[in-house]
Amino acid sequence: MEEDCCATQLIYGDGQFNSSGLDRFVKEVKLAECGLSYAVVAIMGPQSSGKSTLLNHLFHTKFREMDAYSGRSQTTKGIWIAKCVGIEPCTIAMDLEGTDGRERGEDDTTFEKQSALFALAVSDIVLINMWCHDIGREQAANKPLLKTVFQVMMRLFSPRKTTLLFVIRDKTKTPFEYLEPVLREDIQKIWDGVPKPQAHKSTPFSDFFSVEVVALSSYEEKEEKFKEEVAQLRQRFFHSISPGGLAGDRRGVVPATGFSFSAQQIWKVIKENKDLDLPAHKVMVATVRCEEIANQKFNQLVFDEDWLALEEAVQTGPVQGFGKRLSSILGTYLSEYDMEAVYFDEGVRNSKRQLLESKALDFVYPAYTTMLGHLRSKALEDFKVRLEQSLNKGGEFASSVRTSTQSSMLEFDKGCADAAIQQADWDASRVREKLKRDIDAHASSVRSAKLSELNINYEKQLSASLTGPVEALLETGGKDTWTSIRKLLNRETEVAVSKFSAAVAGFELDKDTSTKMMQNLKDYARNVVEKKAREEAANIMIHMKDRFSTVFNYDSDSMPRVWTGKDDIRSITKDARSASLKLLSVMAAIRLEEKPDNIEKLLFSSLMDGTVTVSSSQDGRIAASTDPLASSTWEEVSSKDTLITPVQCKSLWRQFKAETEYSVTQAIAAQEAHKRSNNWLPPPWAIMAMIVLGFNEFMLLLKNPLYLMVLFVAFLISKALWVQMDIAGEFQHGTLSGILSISSRFLPTVMDLLRKLAEEAQGNPAPEAPRRPVSVASRSHRNETPPPNTISSSIPESSVSSNISSSDGDIEYSSPPLRQRRPMNVQEVEPL
């Protein structure tokens, strides 16, 4: 069964204290059994502000509530008390008669001051019920009442700690964080302005009171939200007198058995104190009435059709005549307020007008800021379009930016003047500054993009003009290679820098930035040369072999060499290696500064004139200490400019010699073969032996002509077979292969020859058959790679074939270029 709240009227409307009713209430709620574990909660505030409704929802009491459908009138008369249902510890709720009621009139405010003083003296927690829109007011916010109560309370009663819980009703969009400081500041001002007894001259407000503030939604408009917030507030009253609770630091608590007597004595003292009988004044009426008029005009402004149309229009874009239209709307409602409030107190009237104007301006300010935002966006877009058009027409960047900026800022200033409101002196300087920053940022972005594009274009031009020529000069590897590269680099850099300087002049860059960009372009050109030099240096072995092949295999007229007995292979080899070593010395280091070095001299003296191979370990240690190439750096050349170190040069030269040795061996073999092919006569001693031993046969032929005729016929047949079978060619590449080829072709050739003779004898000569190609055995023999010479040193095999041409028995050999290599384990010999 639900617990009864035992609602009882404690003080009647005429000020009479209901002693018997209080005693009966104490017995029904068993208050005497609580000792010190009980709390008293009172509520005060304007009439019809929902005090009873709040208490009933907050503590499940049953105080009488106003019937809104019957009109707004006084509901609670005097002071009522009831037990808070379901709250621990035992808590007593006290419902006070509302202040500023028309039933008592404006001149009879004594009871409301007495009841307020009684609540502060008896209660541990006092709820001060007030409308949200009353915050900042003088009368409606109960400031005069609190001031009088504070002053008399300190004189009549001993100090005790009371918690003032301000309940803000019908909270608005104003953030709670802004309302709470205002209330606290008002309370502190009231306290500071109250005359205090000598004993409490310097006592701070916090010694007597603790201030808490909560805000609740409208009960009529947001009932469910209101109930949820009240339910949350109810939780704070559980164990309210415990440390950390709402009344956890209270002092001077009267035991529960003496509560009835204490309350009667306090009310008696308050009734007898004449200082509370202050005359009423008209300020309160003026405050309330002007507040009502101001709220009415503000509500009319909120739903004004012209304002709603203007607000909707400004959301989509800038509105022409915005300031004039809005000023007219505001002026209309302010004029209506002045007409309706003309007979009220001037000070209150002016104060409420200022509040109305301020509230109205705060309401329309978002639309004004939206208007400024549209003006700023439009001015920024216009700047972008003007700048792009000016640049497309060939205008200089800096002058185009200045012209476009001036036009856009002038347009924005005109828009701000059109949007200005007569009732407000709003400053658009912040939006203007933001527009200026946005314009500067966009101009800076475009400038960076343009400069970057220029820089990239000139870098591409430099790369195109340097890469090819530098590569060609390095491949040439002449004496003046680096001199030519330096001249090329300086010439192309000067041309590019000159053109680049003229191109960026329109940007009006500061001297430091311009100098830095020019230097970056020069550094890029140098890096292009250095990068290309390093790429070519990485392929130095290929370049050296190509250079060797060119010099070794071709003569001064660029014709392929034919290795005859007259060629000096040793001299040609030395020239080819010298040319390759010259190329190595050129690519050993970057020489973009005109500094002399001895790299070429050192390489020739160590690799061409000396030897780089040491046989014994002892000799190796001696040579290592005296070898000028046993180092990782070149003299007078910095490490960053070194492409190939001395040690690497030595290793590369050893590898180069090994890979080119086979070409030399092939040339020597071709020369020897040429000599053999041109010498068919037997040795002189063999000729003398044939003359001596064949003398008798020779005389026999002379004596018998028949033998001579047979011998002549045999010679003709042999000559025909010789030519037909190309016996000289068959034996050119070896006796065994020649015998095999001739034996396989001999019988078919003889039969073919006899058939031709028979056909000629019959007068029907057959057409000459095409010459039979070289046999497979012969062709395979010719394509065989000659075996390496056993006297050569580390000869790699190259895919080289000897080009053999035969004309009337004359055989010539030509050495082809190097293509591939295959190392072979052979004995090392003295280099040529």
Q: What is the pLDDT of residues 366-400, one digit of tens each?
A: 999 999 999 999 999 998 998 888 888 888 888 88
> What is the Cα–Cα distance from 7 to 96, expressed in whole angstroms?
13
Phi, psi dihedral angles at 498 (to 5 degrees): -65, -45
> What is the Cα–Cα distance from 599 to 481, expressed in whole angstroms?
14
To the nearest 10 degrees (0 to 180), the angle between helices 397-419 and 346-392 is: 150
The C-alpha angle with vertex 672 and arms to 668 and 677, in degrees rounded to 5, equals 145
Residue that has been written with the tokens 């039933």 in this structure: 103
* Tens of pLDDT, residues 476-504: 877 888 889 889 989 988 898 888 888 88
To the nearest 10 degrees (0 to 180), the angle between helices 346-392 and 322-340 is: 180
| Amino acid 621: pLDDT | 47
* Tens of pLDDT, residues 213-254: 898 988 888 889 989 999 999 999 998 888 888 888 887 676
Amino acid at 678: N
Nearest to 139 by CA among 110, 165, 106: 106
Contact 819, 799 (CB under 8 A): yes
Strands 803-807 and 810-814: antiparallel
Q: Mind spelling out the 3-state secondary structure of 60-87? A: CCCCCCCCHHHCCCCCCCCEEEEECCCC
For the sheet containing 162-169, what is the strand order?
Answer: 8-11, 79-83, 90-96, 38-44, 125-131, 162-169, 209-215
| Amino acid 208: pLDDT | 80
- What is the DSSP annotation of 495-549? HHHHHHHHHHGGGT--HHHHHHHHHHHHHHHHHHHHHHHHHHHHTHHHHHHHHHH
Rg (CA), the chain: 60
Q: Which of 41-55, 195-209, 601-615, 807-821 has the lowest mean pLDDT?
A: 807-821
Residue that has been written with the tokens 């007495």 in this structure: 114
Which helix (H) or strand (E) is 150 found in, with range?
helix 143-156
3-state secondary structure of 128: strand
3-state secondary structure of 699: helix
| Amino acid 156: pLDDT | 53
Which helix (H) or strand (E) is 804 found in, with range?
strand 803-807
Cβ contacts of 630 within 8 Å, gap of 6 or more? 624, 646, 647, 650
pLDDT band at 677 (very low <50, low <70, confident <90, very high): low
| Amino acid 252: pLDDT | 65
> What is the Cα–Cα distance from 290 to 277, expressed in whole angstroms?
26
Phi, psi dihedral angles at 164 (to 5 degrees): -100, 110
| Residue 207 per-residue DSSP state | G
Q: Mind spelling out the 3-state secondary structure of 13-66? A: CCCCECHHHHHHHHHHCCHHHHCCCEEEEEEECECCCCHHHHHHHHHCCCCCCC
Report whether 48 belongs to an annotated binding site.
Answer: yes
Nearest to 263 by CA among 396, 429, 394, 81: 81
> What is the Cα–Cα distance from 779 to 803, expressed in whole angstroms?
12
Note the Cα 654 to chain centre separation in Å.
Answer: 52
> What is the Cα–Cα distance from 330 to 309, expressed in whole angstroms?
14
> What is the Cα–Cα distance from 750 to 518, expressed in whole angstroms?
87
pLDDT band at 818 (very low <50, low <70, confident <90, very high): very low
Cβ contacts of 529 within 8 Å, gap of 6 or more? 466, 470, 485, 489, 590, 592
| Amino acid 277: pLDDT | 34
The count of other CB atoms within 10 Å of the CB of residue 356 is 24
> What is the Cα–Cα distance from 526 to 197, expressed in whole angstroms?
92
* Tens of pLDDT, residues 63-77: 887 655 554 445 677
pLDDT band at 812 (very low <50, low <70, confident <90, very high): very low
* Tens of pLDDT, residues 632-670: 888 878 888 888 888 888 888 999 888 888 888 888 888
| Amino acid 67: pLDDT | 58
> What is the Cα–Cα distance from 780 to 794, expressed in whole angstroms?
27
Does residue 331 have a pLDDT over 50?
Answer: yes
Does residue 784 have a pLDDT over 80?
Answer: no
| Amino acid 763: pLDDT | 66
Enumerate the domain spans of the chain.
Answer: 8-274, 277-426, 686-743
Mean pLDDT of the region 608-617: 50
Tokens of 177: 């964080």
The C-alpha angle with vertex 310 and arms to 306 and 316, in degrees rounded to 5, equals 155
Report whether 477 belongs to an annotated binding site.
Answer: no
Residue that has been written with the tokens 């503590």 in this structure: 59
Report whether 51 belongs to an annotated binding site.
Answer: yes
C-alpha pair distances (Å), 725 with each of 711, 719, 758: 20, 10, 20
| Amino acid 258: pLDDT | 67
What is the maximal distance between C-alpha atoms in the chain? 193
| Amino acid 298: pLDDT | 92
**Portion of the chain with pLDDT greater than 70, in percent:** 79
C-alpha pair distances (Å), 86 with each of 216, 269, 591: 22, 33, 99
Higher-pLDDT residue of 91, 767: 91
The C-alpha angle with vertex 792 and arms to 786 and 798, in degrees rounded to 5, equals 45
Tokens of 585: 């010395």
Tokens of 222: 């947001």
| Amino acid 82: pLDDT | 92
Q: Mind spelling out the 3-state secondary structure of 747-758? A: HHHHHHHHHHHH
Report whether 823 belongs to an annotated binding site.
Answer: no
Average pLDDT over the chain, rounded to an integer: 78
Does residue 616 have a pLDDT over 60?
Answer: no
Report whether 802 belongs to an annotated binding site.
Answer: no
**Portion of the chain with pLDDT greater than 90, in percent:** 11
| Amino acid 177: pLDDT | 83
Contact 662, 797 (CB under 8 A): yes
Higher-pLDDT residue of 743, 643: 643
Report whether 52 belongs to an annotated binding site.
Answer: yes
254-260: Cβ within 8 A, 24+ apart: 255/35, 255/36, 256/26, 256/31, 256/32, 256/33, 256/34, 256/35, 256/36, 256/38, 257/32, 259/26, 259/31, 259/38, 260/19, 260/22, 260/23, 260/26
Phi, psi dihedral angles at 168 (to 5 degrees): -90, 115
Does residue 281 have a pLDDT over 80?
Answer: no
Report whether 49 belongs to an annotated binding site.
Answer: yes
Mean pLDDT of the region 730-757: 76
Cis peptide before 89 (omega within 30 of 0): yes
CATH topology of domain 8-274: Rossmann fold (3.40.50)
Residue that has been written with the tokens 């072995």 in this structure: 541
Q: Please classify residue 184 by burial: count the beta carbons closer than 10 Å to its beta carbon, then call 0-12 exposed, 13-18 middle and 19+ buried.
A: middle
Does residue 687 have a pLDDT over 90?
Answer: no
Contact 218, 226 (CB under 8 A): yes
Higher-pLDDT residue of 805, 744: 744
| Amino acid 288: pLDDT | 66
Higher-pLDDT residue of 760, 345: 760
Report whether 801 belongs to an annotated binding site.
Answer: no
pLDDT band at 120 (very low <50, low <70, confident <90, very high): confident
Does residue 701 have a pLDDT over 80?
Answer: no
Q: Which of 48-62, 99-113, 791-805 has the lowest mean pLDDT?
A: 791-805
| Amino acid 486: pLDDT | 87
Does residue 196 have a pLDDT over 80?
Answer: no
Cβ contacts of 62 within 8 Å, gap of 6 or more? 5, 7, 56, 82
Nearest to 588 by CA among 576, 572, 574, 601: 601
* Tens of pLDDT, residues 130-163: 878 777 666 555 676 677 667 666 655 556 678 8
